[in-house]
């Protein structure tokens, strides 16, 4: 498949930021707010009642995508719809062991249905191969390592409900093109992965995952008393690699190439590559639960089109317009999206 030319990554220049142990601990806490029931015997650290009140007020600003489904589909009338999905916390529940973040068979089935009706992509911080091993659907586009590793099926869904697929940009059968704008950084990431594995070994519960174009240090199973120690280890190691940087997600520290590329730029690239960047005729949907998904939501705000949906059970700052509570509500939303399109097609066929 010959990808259309889209935005290209640029190297982030300027002086390196010196982040001390206390500051990195604050960043780790800020990016990892407690969910209801995570700690303190099932109560949120901020207090169960306070969280409920905050969430209720927050929902007025970011209402349920299920409750406002008709409004969303009304905006999609006579437009091409594209669906972009995060993986962890969106298609699968957040689990203690990241190696066991499996999606349900029901979720896999509805995502497969969605992909037969709309161009569909998964954009994840995980490595592309790892995400594919969880999802196991060849009909999708996959963007791993926050979009630094993008690949698509040889043929895209026709988008008209037929079982026949249409070629993408002259793709040949069984052709699978890959876009990897940071391929030159792989040897460096291999090196720092080995370093971090050794360095964080003394921290109970820490786990290092190699995502090919990023390295993730998970601290979901690390007691908070060790967070500062872990953060300082990561900061010290990364400081020796001027071409790499550290970013923060929920219970993870991520080491990435120092290039201006994230889920938002990956989304922009896919929209351009798939000829879906016509804001007047396309409604892209993006569903995600993490801080890193905000770059995609911000893209929609900047362009004045697109529908961002945050998956969360707690109030948090977001550029998303709507919300869903958990993967089960994501599944419900996708089921309704499939039913809406199928009914819409029946009406179109009846009028012909």
Q: pLDDT per residue over 106-138, tens digit each?
A: 999 999 999 999 999 999 999 999 999 999 999
Same domain, 164 and 93: yes
User: Residue 76: CA atoms inside 13 Å, Cβ hemisphere, count?
Assistant: 20
Residue where a domain stops, chosen among 236, 257, 278: 257
Residue where a domain stops, chosen among 257, 282, 316: 257
Q: What is the pLDDT of residues 83-102, one digit of tens each?
A: 999 999 999 999 888 889 99
Same domain, 158 and 305: yes
Same domain, 152 and 276: yes
Contact predicate 211/145, CB 8 Å = yes
Q: Using CA atoms, how far apart are residues 306 and 320, in angstroms rounded to an integer? A: 10
Is 178 a domain residue?
no
Q: What is the pLDDT of residues 222-242, one digit of tens each?
A: 999 999 999 999 999 999 999
SS3 352: coil
Model pLDDT, residue 29 = 65
Q: Using CA atoms, how far apart are residues 43 and 81, in angstroms rounded to an integer? A: 39
The proportion of the chain whose per-residue pLDDT surpasses 90, expressed as a percent, equals 69
Is 76 a domain residue?
yes
Same domain, 230 and 302: no
Same domain, 164 and 66: yes
Residue where a domain stops, chosen among 195, 225, 257: 257
Q: Which domain holds residue 242?
A: 22-34+183-257
pTM of the model: 0.79
Instruction: Inform me whether the pLDDT recorded for 173 exceeds 60.
Output: no
Model pLDDT, residue 278 = 86
HEC string of 179-211 equals ECCCHHHHHHHHHHHHHHHHHHCCCCCCEEEEC
Same domain, 268 and 324: yes
Q: What is the number of domains present in the chain? A: 2
Same domain, 188 and 83: no
Is 50 a domain residue?
no
């Amino acid at each position: 498949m010959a990808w259309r030319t889209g935005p290209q990554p640029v190297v982030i220049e300027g002086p390196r930021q010196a982040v001390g142990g206390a500051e990195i601990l604050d960043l780790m806490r800020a990016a990892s707010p407690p969910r209801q029931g995570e700690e303190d015997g099932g109560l949120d650290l901020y207090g169960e009642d306070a969280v409920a009140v905050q969430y209720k007020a927050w929902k007025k600003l970011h209402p349920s995508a299920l409750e406002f489904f008709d409004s969303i589909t009304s905006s999609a009338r006579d437009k091409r719809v594209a669906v972009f999905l995060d993986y962890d916390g969106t298609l699968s529940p957040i689990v203690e062991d990241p190696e066991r973040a499996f999606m349900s068979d029901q979720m896999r089935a509805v995502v497969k249905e969605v992909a037969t009706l709309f161009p569909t992509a998964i954009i994840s911080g995980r490595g592309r191969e790892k995400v594919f091993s969880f999802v196991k659907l060849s009909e999708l586009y996959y963007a791993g390592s926050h979009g630094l590793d993008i690949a698509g099926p040889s043929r895209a869904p026709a988008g008209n409900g037929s079982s026949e697929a249409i070629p993408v940009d002259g793709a040949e059968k069984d052709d699978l093109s890959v876009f990897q704008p940071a391929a030159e950084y792989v040897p460096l990431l291999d090196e720092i992965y080995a370093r971090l594995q050794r360095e964080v070994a003394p921290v109970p519960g820490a786990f290092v995952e190699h995502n090919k174009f990023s390295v993730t240090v998970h601290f979901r199973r690390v007691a908070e008393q060790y967070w500062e120690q872990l953060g300082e280890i990561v900061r010290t190691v990364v400081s020796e690699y001027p071409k790499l940087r550290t970013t923060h997600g929920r219970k993870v520290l991520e080491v990435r190439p120092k290039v201006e590329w994230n889920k938002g730029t990956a989304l922009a690239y896919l929209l351009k590559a798939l000829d879906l960047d016509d804001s007047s005729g396309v409604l892209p949907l993006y569903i995600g639960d993490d801080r890193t998904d905000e770059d995609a939501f911000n893209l929609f705000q900047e362009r004045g089109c697109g529908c961002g949906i945050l998956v969360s059970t707690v109030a948090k700052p977001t550029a998303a317009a709507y919300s869903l509570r958990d993967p089960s509500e994501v599944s419900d939303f996708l089921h309704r999206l499939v039913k809406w399109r199928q009914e819409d097609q029946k009406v179109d066929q009846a009028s012909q």
